[in-house]
Amino acid sequence: MELLTTNNVWMMICTALVFFMHLGFAFLEIGLTRQKNTINILFKNIFIITVGLLLYCLVGFNLMYPGDFNGFLGFAGFGLDAPLTDAGALDLAYNEGYTYWTDFLFQGMFAATAATIVSGAVAERIKIGPFMIFTVLYVGIIYPIAGSWKWGGGFLDSMETPFYDFAGSTLVHSVGGWAAVVAVCLLGARIGKFKDGKLQAIPGHNIPLATAGVLILWLGWFGFNGGSVLSADPELTSLTLVTTCLAAAAGGVVSALVSSAMFKNLDLTMFLNGILGGLVGITAGADQMSPTDAILIGAVAGALIVFAVSFIDRLKLDDPVGAIAVHLICGIWGTLAVGLFGNLASGAQFLSQLIGVASYAAICIVSSFIIIFILKKTVGIRVSEREELEGLDGHEHGMDAYPDFRMNEH
């Protein structure tokens, strides 16, 4: 009982840290976008976490953890139905690491993150209504089904060499990243991003806030990865936090160096995204890596960020916050790295990681395309040119994030 209490307290602390990450995402997104769309971005982030938790309670948790399962789709029923003992009390033997309620809440925090990743990629030009519909369907149905394939005991977990994703480089970050690619393709670039085929920078309005957001996310990752140990095991938890931090540091430093060599300037936003890339990259195997492995994985992720951002720009895909490079590209890299580094490194494991990456690409691309394409052809997904130029805050919400500054402009 004492061990359960210790483990459960640690899991609840980690749950709070993952919840805190949503503030980090919000700060990062509004910092890297323009002042006139601040309310819109904050509204989307608040909608995602509130509605995401309700959906995960009603259907998502039991879609993701359907019980005895080794297939593609299972469902344990609507709502939460805690396991009880014969005496009717909560069954504390449910798991040696935490209670049923802690399990639900910790996993629910992860669920909302997938849609938050998409929010940043489509910022400043998507209609709020269609985005809300997409969030309901993607977080409520697609994410938990995809998650069940590994974390719920599905077919990827039942392979001879099981696919491995410790804390979600693929299950969370790539799931959001694939949807972000589809959404950006169907939505189109912001007005003024590409003029006569040439890239034009659209600076964010508050880089200090974006920096605070990244540091908050880094702190939140202590819960994201540390909680994924699913107990307070001192050795494994401490190793996981060490590898997480080293990968983040290496990602940031290498991204800054590569960016400086390529563009002849010290770009803070590239430094920040390098940190996030390192964090995403280590997430799949944080419990399996040595400190040296973690530094190498983070370093590769940091370099990938710079090249991925440039490549995405050349494809004329407009991603205001670099979500695709960070969450998709580094998510794929981190997932494959499990087969190359650490305790699980082998040819068989690398093949399983490839199968996992391909499986998630398939379900995410197909499902997000169907949802967003139908929305585009029915209600439309993009605001009008006037609304985009004047800002979504006034047109979508009738509010201004900085009214005093607006008054001083006149």
pLDDT per position as a tens digit, 362-403 = 999 999 999 999 999 999 999 999 999 999 999 999 999 988
Output the pLDDT for position 80. 87
11: domain CATH number? 1.10.3430.10
pTM, entire model: 0.94
Please name every residue paired with 195 in a beta bridge, in sequence order, or none if there are none: 198
Residue 89 belongs to domain spanning: 2-409
User: If we measure between CA atoms, which residue out of 4, 332, 404 comes closest to residue 172?
Assistant: 332
Those residues whose C-beta lies under 8 Å from the C-beta of residue 190, and which sit 6 or more positions away, are: 124, 125, 202, 318, 320, 388
User: Which burial class, exposed, middle or buried, applies to 196 when counting CB atoms under 10 A from its CB (0-12, 13-18, 19+)?
Assistant: exposed
Task: Judge contact between 127 and 36, C-beta under 8 A.
Answer: no
Diameter of the chain measured on Cα atoms: 72
Number of separate domains in the chain: 1
Contacts of 159 (CB under 8 A, 6+ apart): 352, 355
Note down pLDDT in tens along the chain; length 410 residues: 677 789 999 999 999 999 999 999 999 999 999 999 999 999 999 999 999 999 999 999 999 999 888 889 999 889 887 666 655 556 655 667 788 899 999 999 999 888 899 999 999 999 999 999 999 999 999 999 999 999 999 999 999 999 999 999 999 999 999 999 999 999 999 999 998 888 999 999 999 999 999 999 999 999 999 999 999 999 999 999 999 999 999 999 999 999 999 999 999 999 999 999 999 999 999 999 999 999 999 999 999 999 999 999 999 999 999 999 999 999 999 999 999 999 999 999 999 999 999 999 999 999 999 999 999 999 999 999 999 999 999 999 999 998 876 544 43
Residue 390's CB is within 10 A of a number of other CB atoms, namely 13
pLDDT, one tens digit per residue, over 31-89 is: 999 999 999 999 999 999 999 999 999 999 999 999 888 889 999 889 887 666 655 55
